[in-house]
A and B are shown apart, each in its own frame.
Chain A
Amino acid sequence: MATGTDPRTTAPAPTEAPGGVHHASRAAIPARHLRIDRWWLAPAATAGGLLAFVVYSTWRAFANADYYAAPYVSPFYSPCVAKNCVPMKDGADWGVFGTWWSLSPALLVLIFPLGFRLTCYYYRKAYYRGFWASPPACAVAEPHRKYSGETRFPLILQNVHRYFFYFAVLVAGILTYDAVLGFRDADGAWGHMGLGTLVLLANVALIWAYTLSCHSCRHIVGGRLRNFSKHPVRYRMWGWVSVLNARHMLLAWASLVSVAVADFYVYLVASGAFDDPRFF
């Protein structure tokens, strides 16, 4: 902090030559790092997990089939905003895009959760480390010669995260509606519950927990205030979101898995590979 004292500045002025840990002024150690623990395990597991989800979700998003088994709809295909969806009884089936869209309707919707997760502060850490090795792990030198972080296009666009958060709240609301519809049977009569209802409920609970634990949400509900004492309600809400926010990484993974599981469950039921067990 600025103390008013002026310590001697003995450091040589930074030179043009890059070099990081091998810069001429630093301790002459040839190794890029001296860590002896399994530092590579976390980024490798992260990259593997994310890659598996990308492969699965790409297949399902382009498949354009087996995404509705009354009363269950896959979270990948809800809401449906094109006209080429299978009829979903009272579902979020709003063909606002009209008939010209001939590709999978999932592609129109998945942009928003994808953007939300792509700009999420946790996922940024995960893929910067796992895919871009920037850095691969703490105190492990990164392989890049230059680094400008999020100061320039395209990464400066990460700053739009809060807008994706607003959309994510809408999507979570629609998925909640879908989960509630799971309490109706295939004919639309209330008073039904199957394993699929539980799967959709668990998924939407995790989606909400992940969405509300978002750092942008934490900022919007109260973090941006300077005096909490003048805003007791927002301060209370900020406290709740902060509790969730501390588990943002866990919720990010849990909801990623749950959304894939929910989709796969609907796929199994819709394709006839599995009969949804009915509780009542």
Chain B
Amino acid sequence: MSYDAHFRVWRGDADGGDLVDYTVAVNEGEVVLDVIHRLQATEAADLAVRWNCKAGKCGSCSAEINGRPRLMCMTRMSSLDRDATVTVTPMRAFPVLRDLVTDVSFNYQKAREIPAFVPPQGVKPGEYRMRQEDVNRSQEFRKCIECFLCQDTCHVVRDHEENKPAFAGPRFLMRVAELDMHPLDAAAETGVDRKRSAQEEHGLGYCNITKCCTEVCPEHIKITDNALIPLKERAVDRKYDPLVWLGSKIRRRGA
């Protein structure tokens, strides 16, 4: 059953912009991205929007729908009140380029700051053998589609531009956790202490675990409970727990 929906879409660029009202047809089974595409096809041919797979797997169509960070392709119109206006804006934590498209290069910059996986000595590619229970935790984090909705909603950088240099954001702290939990990562042998660097170089202490990253994750990754808090506890092991320090001195054992 088709109906006419009232949309307000942010139009503009870095020099300014405004919310523009549109009335647009909606068909049964459609998602917000379908409606945005219909706008492009009808009355707003120059509306800029970034998208690719339309299946919730590429992480391109991140935006804010009625003020909530979401993927446009995964937000069904049937989940929204059909009598209420649907407001669509670009992500508000990143510099806007045009209309619904933002510059997410902050995230690429942060990605480069995380030391990559260090292959173990004496094990050639193709010879890696790991038990499933040892990689379960990291595999949850590998579901990340890098839509950057968690980065967008995290108030540490969303509400405080000045924190961007010091804080990697939930997605990349999760990357640190993933590598620190990786059974074959040999970073420690090369002098990289991921636990310590999470706090000292990537700003783990800025996270006050208010769980917005987990709330918005379209892959339903438990970012806070399974990555950020375990990482905080690992940093505590290194920096604030004399018992753990003493234990590691007395009895060196590869955990």
> Are B133 and A235 touching (Cβ within 8 A)?
yes
> Are A224 and B209 touching (Cβ within 8 A)?
no
> Are B89 and A128 touching (Cβ within 8 A)?
no
Specify which of A12, A19, A34, A227 is in contact with B95 (CB 8 Å cutoff). Answer: A12
> Are B66 and A35 touching (Cβ within 8 A)?
yes
> Are A34 and B67 touching (Cβ within 8 A)?
yes
Specify which of A2, A8, A11, A138 is in contact with B68 (CB 8 Å cutoff). Answer: A138
CA distance A268 to B53 in the complex (A): 63
Cβ-based interface call for A139 (8 A): yes
Cβ-based interface call for A99 (8 A): no
Cβ-based interface call for B225 (8 A): yes
- List A residues 1-21 near B (Cβ within 8 Å): 1-3, 6-12, 14-21
Cβ-based interface call for B208 (8 A): yes
Cβ-based interface call for A38 (8 A): no
B contact residues around A20 at 8 Å (CB): 158-161
Interface residues on B, range: 35 or more
Interface size (A, Cβ < 8 Å)? 69
Using known A-B contacts A25-B95, A139-B67, determine if residue A134 contacts B233 with beta carbons closer than 8 Å: no
A contact residues around B155 at 8 Å (CB): 134-135, 141-142, 147
B contact residues around A89 at 8 Å (CB): none
Cβ-based interface call for B55 (8 A): no
CA distance A18 to B225 in the complex (A): 30
Specify which of B161, B215, B216, B235 is in contact with A15 (CB 8 Å cutoff). Answer: B161
CA distance A128 to B5 in the complex (A): 37
Using known A-B contacts A34-B67, A135-B159, A227-B134, determine if residue A121 contacts B96 with beta carbons closer than 8 Å: no
Choose, from B26-34, B37-45, B111-119, B120-128, the stretch at the interface.
B111-119
Closest Cβ of chain B to A33, distance in Å, is: 5
Using known A-B contacts A135-B155, A138-B68, A159-B236, determine if residue A226 contacts B181 with beta carbons closer than 8 Å: yes
> Are B183 and A224 touching (Cβ within 8 A)?
no
Closest Cβ of chain A to B162, distance in Å, is: 5
CA distance A161 to B212 in the complex (A): 22
A contact residues around B87 at 8 Å (CB): 34, 36
> Are B105 and A29 touching (Cβ within 8 A)?
no
* Most chain A beta-carbon neighbours within 10 Å: one of B160, B241, B254: B160
Return the 4 tightest CB-CB contacts between A and B, nearest first. A34-B67, A35-B67, A151-B205, A138-B212
Chain A residues engaging chain B, CB cutoff 8 angstroms: 1-3, 6-12, 14-21, 23, 25-29, 33-37, 121, 124-125, 128-129, 134-135, 138-142, 144, 146-151, 155-156, 159-162, 215-216, 218-219, 223-229, 231, 235, 245-246
Q: What are 27 contact pairs spanning A and B, CB under 8 A?
A: A1-B116, A2-B111, A9-B109, A11-B94, A16-B162, A17-B161, A18-B161, A25-B95, A27-B92, A28-B16, A28-B18, A29-B10, A33-B67, A35-B68, A121-B229, A128-B209, A128-B210, A139-B67, A139-B152, A139-B158, A151-B205, A159-B235, A223-B233, A226-B134, A227-B134, A229-B131, A229-B133
